[in-house]
Amino acid sequence: MRRHRQTAFSGRLFKPGRTHGLAKQNHVWTSSKRARGGQRNERLPFIPPEDWHEPTDAGSYRVIVQPAGAGYRHVVTPDEVVDRLAKLPAEFLAPLEVVQLSRMTRKKQSFPCYGMQWGTCLYLYPIEESLVEHYERPPKPAQLNEARMYGGRWLQEGNRWTLVWTERAIRDFYLNNILIHELGHLLDDRNTGYADRERYAEWFALQFGYRPTQAGRTHVHRLQKKRHHARH
């Protein structure tokens, strides 16, 4: 039986102290983070964050691509999404109806996400064209480790931090973390609280996203090390 969550969603917000023009005007999100997010306070009125795609029970999913928006870019293609999901058990994809590569708008910059699950849909958001993200606060240890797991590099300049991605690293992060994490939210029909749902989705992403691709990732890191040492 399909699960239609029309008023519940989960996702990954931007990281702590993220520098955004609109965030500076919105005290609620000034110190938010671009990690997994969603409406944490269930007592607040529900505000639809995205285009709603009515469930059709079609038995398959489709990929929708929107323009990324000025200064942003999508880091994965529809074919890459389809290929990655095809590596999962078929029953994991049964409830899924839409994967949308969403646009970045001024409104979404005050509630920025890497990805989000809403109903039977998964939404992946674009990232800066430079693949460099700027922060006004230091990352938490878990965020340092997560970026390192996928090849992202945190750099500090005074009181400001930047997170630098390569093409390979950000693609790996989206396909084997963000996408799988959001699918975990879709499949979670037991937990209702924010913390419990996040714990489940993080476990799901580790089990079905990171670990199955670890061998290839280690190989890439070794090649990068060899190339680095060869220059000296």
- Each domain of the chain, given as residue ranges in start order, spans 11-230
Element of type H or E holding 116: strand 113-118
Residues 116/49, Cβ–Cβ less than 8 Å? yes
Q: How confident is the model at residue 109 (pLDDT cuts 50, 70, 90)?
A: low
Structure tokens at 225: 């090390």
pLDDT tens digits, 136-153:
889 889 889 999 999 999
Over residues 7-25, mean pLDDT: 42
Residues 139/149, Cβ–Cβ less than 8 Å? no
pLDDT tens digits, 166-198:
999 999 999 999 999 999 999 999 999 999 999
| CA–CA distance, 80 with 52 (Å, rounded to integer) | 23
Structure tokens at 232: 């000296």
Q: Which conformational region is residue 151 in: left (phi greater than 0), alpha (psi within -120 to 50 degrees), or beta?
A: left
Q: Which parts of the chain fold into alpha helices (H)?
A: 78-85, 90-93, 141-150, 167-173, 179-187, 194-205, 214-230
User: For 62, phi and psi rounded to 5 degrees?
Assistant: -130, 155
pLDDT recorded at residue 174: 97
Residues 154/47, Cβ–Cβ less than 8 Å? no
